[in-house]
Amino acid sequence: MGELILRRRWDLTFRKEVYEIKLNDEFLMSSLFTVAEVEIGRLPLTKLAGTALDVVVGGLGLGYTAQTVLENPNVRSLVVVDALSEVIDWHERGLIPAGVTLTSDPRCTLVHGDFFAMARAATGLDPAAPERLFHAIIVDIDHSPRHLLHPSHAGFYESSGLQRLSEQLHPGGVFALWSDDRPDEDFTKALEKHFAEVEVEVVGFDNLSGKREAANTIYLAKTASAR
């Protein structure tokens, strides 16, 4: 998909060390602004009752979403899938701060793979357990359902892709998706065709020292509960 860069720098405005991942000229993630990454790890789990929760996160990045998931004591296992082996390597080598937490937690497994291809496949999202079901599937990869990192991801956001995704969740399970765009009414309607409950959360945060407010969107879609 292009040149991948991990950058660590001292930010003179915020007076702290900053970690950034870039793909070509695009910023994929910065440690300066992590509110939405934390919220997408937290919000779906608030929709789930009980303990022994099994979770998948699509997209590792700087690890804030996965780290937030592991902070929930009800989580039994976490599979984190990332297509970029370099990102996994950075975490395993401790070049990214969250990597120490993720690689030392026995509940967490980092998987090098194409999340979108795995989501389509009959074997599912855990190579070690084909056809396994999950309580939550959390995705933070593309910029939004319309602004993709690669054209091959498009089918995931279409009706057949959402149907297949819903089949990999337990009854009452939750799909959560991060988007850099404002809420998309058409995508929300597509979710409503395949999930029993759909919510859209707009997460605001201060950008550039509070001079401009930014916002991300989190979609939460829940399958019907077992009768």
Q: How confident is the model over 176-220, as pLDDT tens digits?
A: 999 999 999 999 999 999 999 999 999 887 665 555 577 899 999
pLDDT at 226: 75
Which residues are within 8 A (CB) of 172 and not within 5 positions of it... i.e. 6 or more apart? 48, 49, 135, 222, 223, 224, 225, 226
Against a cut of 0.95, is the pTM above it? no
Mean pLDDT of 116-140: 96
Nearest Cα to Cα of residue 189 among 200, 202, 173, 178: 200
**Distance from C-alpha of 102 to C-alpha of 65, rounded to nearest angstrom:** 11
157, 175, 160, 161: which is closest to 224 by C-alpha?
Answer: 175
Q: Is 69's pLDDT higher than 80? A: yes
pLDDT at 211: 52
- pLDDT(25) > 80: no
